[in-house]
Structure 1
Amino acid sequence: LEFYTKGVNSFLHSNTSGCCLEPLVLCYSNRAATRMSLGRMREALGDCSMAAALDPNFLKVQMRAANCHLALGEVEDALQYFSKCLESGSDVCLDRRIIIEAADGLQKAQKVAECTNRCTELLQQRTSNAATIALGIIAEVLPISSYSEKLLEMKGEALITLRKYEEVIQLCKQTLDFAEKNFVVVDAENDLADGDGSKYKNSFVRLWRWRLMSKSNFHLGRLEMALNLLEKEELLRSTKYSMIQGSLIPLTVSVRELLHCKNAGNKAFQLGRHIEAVEHYTAAISSSVESHPFAAICFCNRAAAHQALGLIADAIADCSLALALDGNYTKAVHRRATLHETIR
């Protein structure tokens, strides 16, 4: 990559007369291929555009542009480039490999388009069976369009439906770096300033990830993390994404209320106001039916308040309820064991 860049720069700083255009075209084309291998498809497309502008008949670079668009999930653009390469066969003596690659690329682009539409229909059903089928289809075409934001978002939606929340978070984090490289926003209005003054570039590629990660963290009981993401999303309401944000407002309100109840319970407990603590934890429990791990924490905390009030049977019952909601909650196991010891 470095050497191709040096080659391009050396030509740009000299006179690009007709006799030296071909090496410059090749430098752009080869640098595009290198960037493609690094997953930097948008930069590769820029090189393809420069090469094509210098030599419109250089079909190899048109093929590379087509493959970039296909990898990014920009199917219509990919179809256009592949078709253009095939149509040029009547005017230019094409390398047979280019014809085969263009025909294959055309079929792949059509497959991605069809599968994307099919998955959209499946996910609208919001059932586990439909989500499982959609995941299978996405697994077939994602190797073709590896950087497709649409396919990745649909995969995340399917995983949410199947309650595979850790996988959702992993997917969102692992794909963000390439998304930011490949989907560049030049409009400063689409950048989101964080509280410390730093900015999140390309907020639109983060938006669906924040949405899915906030939902996943909520269901995993990590409400503080969920709220942090939801509040970042709120900052985008004044942008063109405001229509998308509306559906998350109820979740934001719910998370804030749940955290308020739990924190109020913790504070009351620390101050020795145990009856008040029980009331706050009970309020949190009654509103947290969709987040089992969080409800388990509140049950365990209420058990501590009941224990402080001398209500051992109620405390044991709360620990058992916490474990029913989250079988891996060791704090509830230990607390219940300690409570059983006190009544022996």
Structure 2
Amino acid sequence: MQMVERHVREARMLIATKEHSEIAAALRLLDAALAVAPRMEVALEMKARSLLYLRRFKEVVEMLQDYIPSLKMAISDDASTTSSSDSASAHLSREGASLLSSGGGSEPACTCFSVSDLKKKVISGLFKNVEEAGQWRYSVLGQACCHLGLMEDALVLLQTGKRLATAAFRRRSNSLTDDIFSSINHPFSGDNHEPKRPPKTEFESISRLLCHTKLLIRRKTAALAALDAGLYAEAVRHFTKILDGRRGAPQGFLAECYVHRASAFRSAGRIAEAIGDCNRALALDTSCIDALAIRATLFESIRCFHDSLHDLEHLKLLYNSIQRDRKTPGPVWKRQKVQHREIPGKLCSVAAKIQQLKQRLASGETGGLDYHALIGLRRGCSRSELERAHLLLMLRHKPDQSWNFMHKCEFADEKDVDSVRDGAKMSALVLHRMIQRGYASLMAAILEDEAVEKQRNNAAEGNTSFQGVFCRDVGNSLSHTRFNHPIPLKYEALSC
């Protein structure tokens, strides 16, 4: 136990330096201490705060995943479905045990205690309440969840931690007298208690993070409500406020918003924008099932069967891995909308769709792409409409600016930046070439129609007969036959 205390003491000194290398060394000491005493609260708190300071949010969540609200609810739902038949018997056994224990209790009715022990408990209770033992978990885990995009969980955890801290400080301030009120900031020299109230800077950072989290959740809720109500332009506007906001958002949360905005774009008939949002979502999260499903549907709607088949094959691989491993891709705490019991049905539907597309390709149904739907134009559009739509799409989907959305993204791991940039650039280049081919094809068709119309007008002008007054026609005929001299006329008077 002395070795554990020495490791904790040395780790505290290393953490006080605020140097990344020193904090990494402190983590090694804390791991050694926790290997001997895995439930040591001080070591656990120091390790969690050190990981949070080093921005290793995934390790924080993996360390404290038992306290994530959504994960606890999912586990409880699974447990309730699997053990529903045993609940009645367990309830009866608990009631029987309580009835048996009420008659002959093992504890005596009255116990002897020491006054000195009671005094120690009262004094220690002034500085450490039993309810505050795990208070740091809410604030640390809430910050980590927020940076990983688990915004709803972060909101619950941060609010709970802030409420517990405020209530604990109020209880301590009410129970202390004027003589010992100042001892909160200056504990006894023989005690190794940590300050119960975090520094003011931590309170301020948590408050700012909580306000930003509330704003993002509020805008997302409004956008989803507009999407459900069929107000697709309004939903796009709300999601754009999140995605193009002045303050960034976590990687996972942005990927989810891109998927929802792609769904709104698809419902509004803006295929190119929807494909672009799916590309960004897949660049941020390569195993995003919703983005793959939406993009496959979009490619099929414009008769791009090869790309649709590629996305469906990728989707099938994900479903097969989920069914084989009996868990969704990624860590346990990562939120997935698909449930394991839904996988067999989805796998059958994807396999049927793949077979259907393969049959269409084998039968030679590889006609030209529906570029009108891709660019968002009606059939028979004018040249000005095509040029305007093409200009807007080129401004939004430039390959050299395809990774600009990354400036608004807060990455949980800096190693993901290069892979996200490469994926975004590659998919944007494919979309850019598709739009360029569509523009060239539609412009060629418009030019051909204009040439045919011009030729038809010229032919119509050549076939028109000249019509005029009789005298003018006679004069023109005489002038064309060079009868320019005057015709002599003889006037004779008639006598009666």
1:114 equivalent in structure 2: 10
TM-score scaled by length of structure 1: 0.56
- Of all paired residues, the percent bearing the same amino acid is 29
Counterpart of 1:318, as a letter, is D
| Pairing 1:22-33 to 2, within 5 Å after superposition | none
Q: What secondary structure, in the 3-state scheme, does the structure 1 residue paired with 2:166 have?
A: coil
**Contact 1:189/1:239 (8 A) holds in 2:** no
- Specify the alignment match of 2:242 in structure 1: 284
Q: Which residue of 2 aligns with 1:304?
A: 263
Q: What SS does structure 1 have at the residue aligned with 2:208?
A: helix
Please say if residues 30 and 43 of structure 2, whose CA atoms lie closer than 8 Å, have aligned partners that are also in contact: yes
* Structure 1 pair 137–262 and aligned structure 2 pair: CA distance change class (3 A): same
Per chain length, whose mean CA-contact separation is higher, i.e. which structure has more relative contact order (CA < 8 Å, sep 6+)? 2
Please tell me the residue identity of whatever aligns with 1:142: L
Shift of 1:237: 2.6
Look up the SS of the partner of 1:237 in the other structure.
helix
Contact 1:237 1:245 (C-alpha < 8 Å) held by counterparts: no
TM-superposed CA distance for 1:145, in Å, is 5.0
Following superposition, the deviation at residue 306 of structure 1 comes to 0.9
Q: Which residue of 1 is the match for residue 302 of structure 2?
A: 343
Report the CA distance between 1:259 and its aligned residue: 0.5
For residues 182-237 of structure 1, give each alpha carbon's deviation from its aligned partner in whole angstroms, at most 9, with x where no partner exists.
xx99759987xxxxxxxxxx343322211121122212322111111111123133
Higher helix fraction: Structure 1 or Structure 2? 1
* Counterpart among 269, 284, 287 of residue 227 in structure 2: 269
Q: Find the counterpart in structure 2 of residue 334 from structure 1.
A: 293
CA deviations 1:231-260 (Å, max 9, x no partner) are 112313354337453320001101100001
Counterpart of 1:143 in 2: which secondary structure? helix
Q: Which residue of the partner structure matches residue 231 of structure 1?
A: 159
Instruction: Assess, with a 3 A threshold, how the Cα gap between structure 1 residues 263 and 159 changes in structure 2: closer, same or farther.
Output: same
Q: Distance in 2 between matches of 1:160 and 1:147?
A: 19
Partner of 1:153: 45
Largest Rg, 1 or 2:
2
- Partners in 2 of 1:339 and 1:257 — Cα distance? 31
Provide closer, same or farther for how the CA distance between residues 330 and 260 of structure 1 changes in structure 2, counting only shifts above 3 A. same
- What displacement does 1:136 show? 2.0
**CA separation in 1, counterparts of 2:228 and 2:168?**
42
Distance in 1 separating the partners of 2:7 and 2:36: 9
> How many angstroms does 1:113 deviate by?
1.6
Contact 1:190-1:239 at 8 Å conserved across structures: no
Show structure 1 runs of 5+ residues with no match. 1-69, 71-104, 176-183, 192-201
| Alignment match, 1:256 | 214
Which residue does 1:139 correspond to in 2?
Answer: 31
> Whole-Å Cα distance in 1 between the matches of residues 302 and 42 of structure 2?
58
Aligned residue for 1:221, secondary structure, equals: coil
Number of aligned residue pairs: 219
Residue 149 to residue 318, structure 1, CA distance change in 2 (3 Å): same
2:309 aligned partner: none
8 Å contact from structure 1 (residues 289, 295) kept in 2: no
Measured in 1, the distance between the counterparts of 2:133 and 2:241 equals 36
- CA positional deviation for 1:263: 0.6
Task: Look up the SS of the partner of 2:269 in the other structure.
Answer: coil
- Mapped contact 1:115–1:137 kept (Cα < 8 A): yes
The answer (yes or no) to whether the contact 1:300–1:332 under 8 Å persists in 2 is yes
* Shift, 1:333, TM fit: 1.4
Is the 1:233–1:245 Cα contact (8 Å) retained in structure 2? no
1:217 aligned to which of 137, 145, 149: 145
* TM-score, scaled to structure 2: 0.40
CA distance change for structure 1 residues 111 and 158 in 2, over 3 Å: closer, same or farther? closer
Mapped contact 1:319–1:335 kept (Cα < 8 A): yes
The 5-angstrom pairing of residues 169-184 of structure 1 reads 169-172=61-64
